[in-house]
Amino acid sequence: MTGKELPASNIADLQSLLRRREISPREVLDVLRARIEDVDGKIDAYLSTDFEATAKQAEKADVDLLLGGVPIAIKDIISVAGQPCTCASKILQGYRAPYDATVIRKLRAAGAIPFGKTNMDEFAMGSSTENSGLKLTRNPWDLSRVPGGSSGGSAAAVAADEAFAGLGTDTGGSIRQPASFSGVVGLKPTYGRVSRFGLVAFASSLDQVGPLTKTVRDAGLIMNAIAGHDPQDSTCLNAPVPDYTAALGRDLRGIRLGLPKEYMIEGIDPQVKSAIDAAIAQFETLGAEIVDVSLPQTDYAIAVYYILATAEASANLARFDGVRYGHRAENPKDLLDHYGRTREEGFGPEVKRRIILGTYVLSSGYYDAYYLRAQKVRELIRQDFAKAFKKVDALISPTSPVPAFKLGERTDDPLQMYLADIFTSPANLAGICGISVPCGFAESDGHRLPIGLQLLGKALDEARILQIAHAYEQSTDWHKARPPIAASMRNG
């Protein structure tokens, strides 16, 4: 394998090279650095990289550890000691994390190297990464389109072969939807499966950290490193951690997959629909049984999600007050002027919009009508899933009703942007796990645009959806396709 081909490797293949001592962790990091210098001017997936400190880590890396010597890109909302953590917001420009998040500590313990921070929608609020206050990330399959969001930087970096894998966060689809738009694998673990200590909070009852990878197996490998109890996060589940790769390779005989009839809505792109239909037929060929199920409250999910997520965000973002860290307005005349201008100057439009909405739905006189009612409908949505999982092992749907849209196409209409989360946000409300895997392409203006298939599993059933996703992935070639930017660079 040459230096030009290496960046296209998945983690498992990279590890066999490392463990056979055909390449050193330091050489891997150097190749990756060259690759980023080559392509990131076109993609803009990264907000910062730190190759100097990480080169020293690479020299000491033990390649026989779980992820020994594997560089991993980190969404810029997760604290990596000594590296910037901006959440793609001007309010945190210049801020450096003074400590490692638990997921980073666990990655380091497994030998992985967190070397750089990826772009995102500001504070993870968005579905296209266009809400970044710092730069615009492009979809490697078509540079005029968005990579999805909010973990768009991690998704685009993995797709463009400028990362072997990345970490993202998923509050309403922010791992799965960019995975779908960018043609990679993205796993949202069960709420509480992965520690959030050191993750900058957006919506605390919904946020979860998870991997974006080139293959389903790689997602399992990263889960093996990051899942598990953390006494420093009181919402983190104290449940045993299985080997997430153990069931990979088992066939699908006896597996029952539910098709929620409410997910077959008008407005699904016909090319997405036909890719999903073909995937369903493929699952039947593989021995799975397809069962019709109903999730009657689906139509309410987006409304519930945007009330609860903005309410929680308005409380969480109160900490950005310009006192202990972050931007502070110049020469405030009094304390109210200090707060009001610091936050006006630091936050971008979508964050401001959500703070206003969240403050409103929590305010006196409106709390019961919006926030409390939304929490009750959330419980009904949770019950929908509980009933469905009595009949089936996993649910199957498109990850997004449409493939990647054009940059700027939806920025003027927040409600349209919110509706992009229609198939992903219910899983966050119900706390269950979900994965997006590539399942085909749509053709548009001479570009191939990836389509993602979503599998949802019940709480703590990550091993099962990984097994199902892996069986599908290995029976298709979708995961082997590379975007034009990857191919041209490798031949160049």
Partner 1 sequence: MAKGSDLDVAYVAKLARLNLSDAETELFQKQLGHVLNYADKLRGVDVSDVEAAAHAIPIFNVFREDEPRDWFTAEEALSNAPRQANGLFIVTKVVE
Classify residue 324 as exposed, middle or buried by CB count within 10 Å of its CB (0-12, 13-18, 19+): exposed
Q: Do residues 171 and 75 touch, judged by C-beta distance below 8 A?
A: no
The nearest distance, CB 357 to partner 1, in angstroms, is: 5
Tell how strand 46-49 and strand 185-188 pair up: unpaired
CB nearer to partner 1: give 193 or 214: 193
* Residue 475 annotated as catalytic: no
CB nearer to partner 1: give 1 or 372: 372
The nearest distance, CB 59 to partner 1, in angstroms, is: 26
Tokens of 454: 């979503």
Dihedral class, residue 186 (left if φ above 0, else alpha if ψ from -120 to 50, else beta):
beta
Q: How many CB atoms lie within 10 A of CB 346?
A: 24
Q: Do residues 34 and 49 touch, judged by C-beta distance below 8 A?
A: no
CB nearer to partner 1: give 1 or 335: 335
Cis peptide leading into residue 444 (ω within 30°)? no
The nearest distance, CB 167 to partner 1, in angstroms, is: 21
CB nearer to partner 1: give 205 or 476: 205
CB nearer to partner 1: give 216 or 302: 302
Tokens of 274: 């036909």
Instruction: Determine the Cα angle at 171 with ends 179 and 403, to 5°.
Output: 30
- CA 205 and chain centroid, separation: 16
Distance CA 138, CA 130 (A): 9
Tokens of 93: 């420009």
Q: Which residue of the set 9, 79, 128, 150 is catalytic?
A: 150
Name the nearest CA neighbour of 128 among 410, 358, 443: 410
The nearest distance, CB 177 to partner 1, in angstroms, is: 19
* Residue 174 annotated as catalytic: yes
Gap between the terminal Cα atoms of the chain: 15
The nearest distance, CB 164 to partner 1, in angstroms, is: 30
- Helical H runs in 347-492? 349-362, 373-391, 414-419, 425-430, 462-474, 484-491
Tokens of 99: 């400590």
CB nearer to partner 1: give 156 or 295: 295
The nearest distance, CB 107 to partner 1, in angstroms, is: 21
Contacts of 235 (CB under 8 A, 6+ apart): 191, 192, 196, 204
CB nearer to partner 1: give 225 or 374: 374
The nearest distance, CB 267 to partner 1, in angstroms, is: 15
Q: What is the DSSP letter of 152?
A: H
CB nearer to partner 1: give 101 or 185: 101
The nearest distance, CB 238 to partner 1, in angstroms, is: 8
CB nearer to partner 1: give 25 or 192: 192
The nearest distance, CB 401 to partner 1, in angstroms, is: 16
Q: Which residue of the set 9, 48, 75, 425 is catalytic?
A: 75
Q: Which residue of the set 79, 127, 151, 174 is catalytic?
A: 174
Tokens of 311: 């309410």
Q: At what angle do helices 216-226 and 102-109 cross, to 10 degrees?
A: 110
Tokens of 108: 């380091």
How far is residue 409 from each of residues 82, 118, 146, 151, 350, measured CA to CA in Å?
37, 23, 9, 19, 16
CB nearer to partner 1: give 34 or 325: 325
Distance CA 188, CA 177 (A): 10
Tokens of 147: 């990579």
The nearest distance, CB 345 to partner 1, in angstroms, is: 9
Tokens of 474: 């290995």
* Residue 204 annotated as catalytic: no
Tell how strand 289-293 and strand 447-457 pair up: unpaired
Tokens of 337: 């002027």
Coil/strand/helix, residue 327? coil
- Please give the positions annotated as active site: 75, 150, 174
